């Protein structure tokens, strides 16, 4: 029955090791069973319990000690050293954790409220100027210990750099002024915009927050010290600083830094083929030119397959436009996006 179930899953496109893993088996076990005439489960399993297995008395003692008034508010990491100070050894920390886990007692053991780690709300973009992210990065100057600061706003859906300005300090006034100016330059209604950033002072300062409230912008913030919550800005900064022409030394003046950033933004928006949006430029996607470009590529691939059908075992490369982009998706949304991409392919 197990082999039949796995064969059905594999015939529908599942990987053998994945299907076997769900049943707690390895792919080698399934292959060996298929080669046997009777296809019987010949696993013998352990013939005797491990010699170092804890006895029931030891397990009960661990449970009693962990829940006694002296230790009930402490974790095993605290309990074991305290017992050692008293000249007592019962079991290792891992054994304490294992016993408590079996009794479903691995939880917050203090009287204080347990910490809550809420993921930031997810936002979905189906077109340009719906979700923006921004951040600030350092650019070295010729003065030791002194930096220039690059403020960069990007559109999540198209990956277009909509603003990139260098200042000589981090300031919420600069943030508010640049954001306000960027909205006017692109002619967008800020009330339909989500702006995501981390928790820095320029991002959450009173002037910036007042500007966002006045314009009707929906603010979104990363969790403290979690850079993955702002992946688009972090990824773009890495691309910027690993460009071959990024200065190996320092920027001599703020004008020098701004000129280099302007050249980078022009290259990134108009020449860089972005891997996450089917290798079109951010400008082509932002201004609606990607459909024609991708349709042309698809025709080229279809013609190539017609000329040499033996080179393709399945469909040609997926050149359908990426329909939606999600900022900080939860597990279910991420799975839905992956399934949608597979169907498109």
Delimit the domains of the chain by residue range: 2-35, 56-102, 123-264, 284-344
pLDDT digits (tens, 9 = 90+) for 162-208: 999 999 999 999 999 999 999 999 999 888 899 999 888 888 888 89
Query: In the prediction, which pLDDT does 45 show?
Result: 66
d(CA 288, CA 226): 33
Helix (H, G, I), strand (E, B) or coil at 86: coil
Query: In the prediction, which pLDDT does 328 show?
Result: 85
Residue 128 and residue 157 in contact, taking contact as beta carbons nearer than 8 Å:
yes
**Helix-strand-coil split of the chain, %, nearest 5:** 45, 15, 40
Name residue, tokens 């089917």. 278
pTM: 0.69
Torsion of CA 207, 213, 217, 223, to 10 degrees: 60
Q: Which fold is adopted by the domain 123-264?
A: Nucleotidyltransferase; domain 5 (3.30.420)
Contacts 24+ apart (CB under 8 A), 22-30: 30/2, 30/3, 30/6
Q: Which residues contact 279 (CB under 8 A, 6 or more apart)?
A: 273
Is the per-residue pLDDT at 340 higher than 70? Answer: no
Predicted confidence band at 293 (pLDDT cuts at 50, 70, 90)?
very high
What burial class does residue 252 get, using C-beta atoms within 10 Å of its C-beta: 0-12 exposed, 13-18 middle, 19+ buried?
Answer: exposed
Regarding predicted confidence, which is higher, 66 or 73?
A: 66
Where are the extended beta strands (E) located within 121-260? 123-125, 131-140, 147-155, 161-167, 194-197, 218-221
CA atoms lying within 13 Å on the CB side of residue 300: 9
pLDDT digits (tens, 9 = 90+) for 90-146: 999 999 999 999 998 887 777 777 777 677 888 999 999 999 999 999 999 999 889
Is the per-residue pLDDT at 53 higher than 90? Answer: no
pLDDT digits (tens, 9 = 90+) for 295-338: 999 999 999 999 998 888 888 888 999 999 999 887 777 666 66
């Amino acid at each position: 029955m197990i082999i039949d179930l796995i064969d059905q899953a594999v015939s529908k496109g599942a990987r053998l090791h994945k299907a076997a893993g769900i049943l707690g088996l390895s792919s080698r076990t399934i292959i060996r069973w298929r080669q046997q005439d009777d296809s019987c489960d010949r696993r013998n399993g352990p013939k005797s319990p491990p010699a170092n297995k804890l006895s029931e008395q030891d397990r009960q003692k661990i449970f009693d000690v962990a829940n006694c008034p002296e230790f009930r508010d402490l974790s095993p990491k605290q309990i074991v050293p305290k017992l050692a100070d008293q000249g007592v050894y019962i079991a290792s920390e891992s054994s304490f954790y294992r016993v408590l886990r079996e009794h479903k007692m691995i939880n917050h053991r203090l009287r204080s409220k347990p910490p809550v780690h809420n993921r930031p709300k997810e936002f979905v973009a189906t077109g340009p100027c719906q979700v923006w992210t921004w951040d600030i990065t350092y650019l070295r100057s010729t003065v030791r210990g002194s930096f220039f600061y690059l403020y960069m706003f990007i559109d999540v859906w198209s990956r277009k750099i909509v603003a990139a300005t260098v200042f000589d300090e981090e300031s919420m006034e600069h943030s508010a002024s640049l954001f306000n100016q960027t909205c006017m330059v692109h002619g967008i209604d800020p009330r339909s915009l989500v702006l995501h950033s981390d928790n820095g002072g320029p991002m959450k300062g009173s002037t910036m927050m007042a500007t966002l409230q006045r314009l009707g912008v929906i603010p979104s913030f990363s969790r403290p010290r979690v850079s993955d919550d702002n992946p688009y800005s972090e990824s773009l900064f890495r691309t910027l600083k690993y460009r071959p022409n990024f200065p190996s030394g320092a920027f001599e003046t703020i004008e020098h830094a701004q000129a280099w950033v302007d050249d980078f933004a022009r290259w990134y928006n108009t020449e860089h083929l972005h891997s996450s949006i089917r290798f079109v430029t951010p400008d082509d996607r932002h201004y609606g030119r990607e459909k024609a470009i991708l349709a042309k590529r698809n025709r080229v691939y279809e013609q190539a397959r017609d000329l040499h059908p033996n080179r393709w075992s399945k469909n040609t490369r997926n050149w359908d436009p990426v329909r939606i982009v999600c900022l900080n998706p939860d597990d279910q949304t991420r799975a839905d996006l992956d399934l949608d991409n597979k169907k498109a392919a």
